[in-house]
A and B are shown apart, each in its own frame.
Chain A
Amino acid sequence: MIVTPKIFARLAAIALLGVLLQISFFSRVTVLGVSPDVLPALVVVLGLLGGAMTGAVAGFAIGLLLDGSLVESLGGSSLVLLGVGYLTGLLRERFELRGALVAALACLGLTMVAELGFALVQLTLGVDAPVSLLIVRDLVLKGIFAFFVGWPLYIGLCRLLRAALVEEPRVTRRRQPAVFGA
């Protein structure tokens, strides 16, 4: 991804809007008893589009914005999301992963990884209460929600950041004209 000042402004606006939508909409609705978490999916899509560095920096910034906006301890979400962003970027760079379906599947898997990461950070810092097994249901459902969010998110961000994307030119085969009676 070629990050010009204009693209940087777009990325910042996407991060801001993503965090705002998450804390005022997605976190406040429940579907099947679980609130969707779209921020890992947003980081995954940015990582797929921009590569490991873009993913890591976007993850760090989005995590920082999230924790800061909720006036919570800083650093925990940043650490998890930067890891998810970097991992997505690496997957894209090593295996040349592209496409909306790949994005949706990556959102599913890596949202679960992110939720596991949040759990790991919290358990490392100490939890003063018993933990319900429903946390597993929460993790799986968040992953499934991310699958459905990942698809349109990838297509939308592809369009929004088209100017910055380094795409290999599509190879289109021209059909040779058929000559009859030659």
Chain B
Amino acid sequence: MRNLILQAILSGILLGMIYGLIGAGLNIIYGVMRVVNFAHGEFLMIAAYLVYWFSVLYNIDPLSSLLIIIPLFFLSGMIIYHLVVPRLLKSEDPEMASFLTFYGISMIITALVLIAWGADPRGLRFPYGTPSMRIGTFYISTGRVIHFAFSSIIALILVFFLYRTYLGKAIRAIIQNRDAVKIVGIDPNKISSIAFGIGLMLVGITGALIPLTFPGITPGMGASYTLVAFVVIVLGGLGNPMGSIIGGLIFGLTENISTLFLPLALSPVISFITLILIIMIRPQGFLGGTWN
């Protein structure tokens, strides 16, 4: 039993970091613009399908495909921002307006993907040696380890970016006080478009590596990742990108450990019960209201 628990903890950490990065992208977008990107999971799903496509058509492996996915999603994010978000921000209730708009966008994306690739699940043959590896007495998915390693590197780059670069500091400033940045000479429109690009880039990276972690890619998978992303950002603290990593780890650990004691079907329920409990104890999330 002890081994099983340790195995579940290890799996939870591996998955948690992945969830955290999904949440970080959503949280940057929400924090900077107060825009609720309800199509976040669908963007992840597009990245997964693109990687599948690159693999089938051009024999490009998921890691190499990041060279295409990263700039593609960053630029797409900036374009989507300029097409949609400034109008939403003029609304009297940007959060509700953006929620409805992006919910519509998520439906459109799902429908288009369904037309393009059909409803059957797609998957990749694992391109990097054996699908599972042994560490001590534990067997773990090689794909999850690769995904975890990449997510950790990206999280570290994100920390460096947010705390050491002009754009990162400007993003932190705008998350804290959108009005104040205007009077200190920072262009909120420019920073917001870059932040949207970064948000989509982060979810694009995760989506590109999802085929290594979970076998089936389907047009309907986006909704569940959107839900995970929202839970993660509420757990970690709304508007705090680094809090999302903590939220992701809590979510991943709860989900995995609960499978040891409860039927598999109940594991998402336990995660949401954890969410409710944490909100009751600390409504602002783990790092909400403390981020500097």
Bound pair: A and B? no
